[in-house]
Amino acid sequence: MCGIIGYLGQKEAYPVLLAGLERLEYRGYDSAGICTAHHGTLHLHKKKGRVENLKSITLPGTIGIAHTRWSTHGSPADKNAHPFLDQSKQFSIVHNGIIENYLELKEELRKEGVAFTSDTDSEVIVHLLAKYYHGNLQEAVLNTVKRLMGAYAFCVLKSGNQEIIAARNGSPLVVGLNGGENFIASDVSALIEHTRRVIYVDDFRLVKVTRQGVELSDFQGRPLPPSIKEVNWNIEQAQKQGYKHFMLKEIFEQPQVVEDSLRLNLSLRKDFSRLLIVACGTASYAGLVGKYLIEKIAKIPVAVEIASEFRYKEPLFSRDDLILAISQSGETADTLAAVRLARQQGAKTLGMINVVDSTIAREVDDIIYTRAGLEIGVASTKAFIAQLVTLYKIAYALAGQEFSGEGLVEKVQQTLSLNSQLKDLAKKYFAYQNFLYIGRNINYPLALEGALKLKEISYIHAEAYPAGELKHGPLALVSEETPTLAICPQDSVYEKTFSNIQEVKARNGKVIAVATQGDERIKGISDDVIYLPSVKEVFYPLLAAIPLQLFAYHIADVKGCDIDRPRNLAKAVTVE
């Protein structure tokens, strides 16, 4: 979940690394640090807090490594910031992941006289390197990885050496190539300003980066040929382009995302008896929408599993099942583990991934790339919409039908015109500390997603329920202090949802209704109404997602929250 970057070339490394960290900060922002090597000496600067805290000084040297942290072991503090040095100050490392056996390694090293300076699991790596170094850095790294259990991608810098060595097992790593200067990082966003030529590093691989090029090997030291890819997006896509936050920019990019996603050409064989969707967070809610869609349109049974629970509950699936893994980043650790478990047991796997050549994309049997483009905001918006459109395409393809989505782009564009109304509603409701979100049928997953967005970026407690479940417990929470946001379009369950809203109003609850344009009746039981353009019932999730995103965004903005970097969260969850 942390961000790492390394550079060696002809330029001063510190400003290059600093700029790269700023692009990686969505991966973690509890602390940051940079280490450079110059004239045989390692120079280190690290601080608790944001990357901007590193701008007060500069360090010499044309080679260096850097890190922005999302805390797992050890609180956000200067001492727990990366990079870490060994006791002799010859070695420096940055690490993304979790070392599961760090306590036993730490105890072993302490008995050998090593004094630790942090509370992190990562620090054991640098002390193991120092222990195993006997003149060959690559051998020291190979001996170190033999001792590590868990997930990691780490970079190593040694004083006096003009090379960076990195190793990967379970956490993402990419190399950037640009003639006389080369890079290594957690993802492409840190490199795209400098190069589009990249190597995606697989698990159990070691990389040696010099100014002359890159050498790739496995954990037995056997050399491997690198596979160089060309990245198809550019730096402009990573800029805010006048929007206050990346999240708002990405919400307003959704008409284009829908248009691009509708161009997907899918050819799917119906050679499986059941579809089993595995995903986490927002992607799992997209998967729930997919369950409703595929069962309704293609008449194929669908199960949705939370990936973080999947492998721990002795899941029942067979070779006749198709496992669909949904992930924006393609690096989600739990989803990746679910894919690997499925493949071990002989099931076919299909990935629905946004990031090209990411780990899950490389490991599944078949891949569908969603067309959201680069998403920077931690709270996913346009990636969710891209996943939904792709699931529509899948549902219709499995039914042997064409899905053109005629008129949907315009309807999404119309829905964005609600932005001003949602901004006003945010000013009215931002002070409430609790919300209920309700929906029925295909809109129940949208209630889950809406509540998640509010929690993620505004830190307001929100719970989501199927509307029919209110009387089975949640109705006890309804009061004047707990507004209910009800998704109630004019669909096949309209009367049922309408009745549930009446239950809320009968108990003095405030109601914000998301309804169909022209529905005057719902005004009588709602405090506020957000009107959506009229569409077929199955398409309401595509439209309903937008006001839920904007409502959460504007509440967080009124509260002054750090919307693109919400506390305790990171964009890609690459650790368990």
Q: Which two tokens stand for residue 189?
A: 């966003």
Hey, what are 314's tokens?
């002795």
Residue showing tokens 């509708």: 262
Q: How many CB atoms neighbour CB 528 within 10 A?
A: 17
CA distances 24 to 1, 188, 364, Å, are: 10, 9, 26
Paired with 461 in beta bridges are: 434
* CA–CA distances in Å: residue 95 to residues 321, 345, 430: 37, 32, 38
Q: Helices 281-297 and 382-398, interaxial angle, to 10°? A: 20
Q: How far is CA 238 from CA 78, 193, 199, 246, in A?
A: 29, 10, 20, 9
**Residues, the chain:** 576
**Dihedral-angle region of residue 4 (phi above 0 means left; psi in -120 to 50 means alpha; beta otherwise):** beta
Phi, psi at 506, each rounded to 5°: -65, -15
Q: Which two tokens stand for residue 472?
A: 């089975």
Q: Which residues are catalytic?
A: 2, 571
Angle CA 238–2–545, to nearest 5: 55
**Residue owning tokens 């949208």:** 446
DSSP state of 462: E
> Within 13 A of 24's CA, how many CA atoms are on the CB side?
34
Cis peptide before 15 (omega within 30 of 0): no
